[in-house]
Amino acid sequence: MIATHAHNPDRAPSSGPDNVVALTARGTMNRGGRGNEGGREETTGSQGEERSPHGLLTLSIEHAIPQVGHYTRLLSASTAMSVAELVEAILVAYRWPTTPEYWTLRVKNRGLVTMYAPGKLGATEQMLGVRSAGKSVGETLSKGCVAQLQVGEMAFIVHATDVVNHQDADPTAVLLGAEFLPAADQFGRPLPEADALHPLGIPTAVSLSEINIELAGEDTVEHVMAHVQPELKALLHDGELYEFVPLLQALDLERLATVSDHAAELLTDAPSEDSAVGRAAAWARIVALSTLVDGDSVDEVSESFMQAVGYRRGDVAHLPQMDSANTGENLDPEDPLTATEIRELSRPTGHLLALAGAGGWGARPGEPVPLVPRCSVVERLEMYRFLLQR
């Protein structure tokens, strides 16, 4: 389990306490600078550009077995993790049956190929340029690079598809998705029982929640959730939304939020919606906004949240601005709620956030717009912490 390796020699040094914090839940968090700690190599690339060790990399990890199929795991990994911790997270995400003593990770990054291996490197490995798996992911991988992880006879191809600046105090990884494409014959027909034929019994379907609890560590999950606002905590448990645990952990909800008296007065009673679905929508927006991602990503996070906690269009009696008479759509009560509908359901809380400077405001025709400038990232984070903490 990732959280148990506090004394692992292959673990990257942790982030310094004076770094600024910001987050993203998508893969899901953000920023800050770190000096050359403990004599570590400077984090510069082969062309001299700086490689920030603070961020979240989105990694697509592919594993293919002939006559069986193609496995994919989508992982969000903190660049503060060591290479060894990343490999462990990949194997956890695949439900690998054993813990290998040895593996290699061959990385091609900005035209330079480097190999990493666990444990103490021998003279031959050092002569061949093999590097320690204690290097941080931020020093090793960057957006657009490709790597091959070799575990015994099994290989994985790793693509770094995206990066979001973020300083995450604790090395974390979150499984965002898992897919399996069965092998097919020459006519495109899936081979019978292909999903049961992996030599090591790797499952074709996994529970994201179970994997993410294992990645975070059950003790860590319980500790983080103990400091979450009770209503939100219940929603997270009901929807098994444990992928948000690293986000909540990085927000440091144990620390009392520092907000102005004006902001505290506005936000004390939030969410201010009366209905259960409206309050859930407000929490979806608050959690999504706390990730500090762009507007489209905030919408995606809020939609995923509402879908996970089980609310559909049929759970809403009436949306004045979004009913079928206004949109011309044939609405299915089993359809998930859209981001626009979620904003409409949570307008009272959205208005309070706008008045506090913690969110934007989409005014209806003829409706006044709060003339409140949006606060700084640090101020907004404090307000989100104020709302989210117990």
Q: Give residue 4's pLDDT.
A: 35
pLDDT exceeds cutoff 70 at 168: no
Note the Cα 100 to chain centre separation in Å: 26
| Contact between 131 and 8 (Cβ < 8 Å) | no
Q: Return the H-helix or E-strand segment holding 154.
A: strand 154-165
pLDDT exceeds cutoff 70 at 56: yes
Q: Give residue 29's pLDDT.
A: 34
The CB-side HSE value for 210 (13 A sphere, CA atoms) comes to 7
Distance CA 2, CA 6 (A): 9
Distance CA 59, CA 258 (A): 35
Select the more confidently predicted residue: 176 or 50: 176
pLDDT exceeds cutoff 70 at 373: yes
Strand partners, 162: 58
Q: Is 263 exposed, middle or buried (0-12, 13-18, 19+ CB in 10 A)?
A: buried
9-18, 20-29, 285-294, 340-349: range with lowest mean pLDDT: 20-29
- pLDDT tens digits along 58-98: 999 999 999 899 999 999 898 989 999 999 999 999 999 99
- pLDDT tens digits along 316-363: 876 655 544 445 456 678 889 999 999 999 999 999 999 999 886 555
pLDDT exceeds cutoff 70 at 369: no
Q: What is the mean pLDDT of the chain?
A: 80
Q: Give residue 60's pLDDT.
A: 96
Distance CA 91, CA 71 (A): 13
Strand partners, 50: 44
Q: Note the CATH number of domain 2-215.
A: 3.10.290
> What's 310's DSSP letter?
T
Give φ, ψ of 115 to 5 degrees.
-115, 140
pLDDT exceeds cutoff 70 at 166: no
- pLDDT tens digits along 103-145: 999 999 999 999 999 987 777 777 777 888 889 999 999 999 9
Residue boundaries of the structural domains of the chain: 2-215, 261-323+333-388
Each residue of 215-226: b (16+ CB within 10 Å) or e?
bbbeebbeebbe
- pLDDT tens digits along 219-251: 888 889 999 999 999 999 988 888 888 788 878
Q: Give residue 309's pLDDT.
A: 92
- Angle at which helices 276-290 and 295-308 cross, to 10°: 140
Calculate mean pLDDT across residues 196-204.
88
Q: Give residue 225's pLDDT.
A: 92
Strand partners, 159: 60, 146
Q: Give residue 367's pLDDT.
A: 54
Give φ, ψ of 51 to 5 degrees.
-105, 110
Distance CA 354, CA 352 (A): 5
pLDDT exceeds cutoff 60 at 10: no
- pLDDT tens digits along 251-285: 889 899 999 999 999 999 999 999 999 999 999 99
Q: Give residue 160's pLDDT.
A: 95
What is the reported pTM? 0.62
| Alpha helix positions (H), the chain | 83-93, 123-127, 137-140, 208-216, 218-225, 230-238, 245-250, 261-267, 276-290, 295-308, 324-327, 339-345, 347-356, 377-388
Q: Give residue 340's pLDDT.
A: 92
Q: Return the H-helix or E-strand segment holding 78.
A: strand 69-78
Q: Give residue 370's pLDDT.
A: 60
Give φ, ψ of 253 to 5 degrees.
-70, -10
> What's 274's DSSP letter?
S
Q: Give residue 140's pLDDT.
A: 93
Tokens of 372: 């409140």
Select the more confidently predicted residue: 41 or 264: 264
Q: Give residue 368's pLDDT.
A: 58
Calculate mean pLDDT across residues 301-307.
92
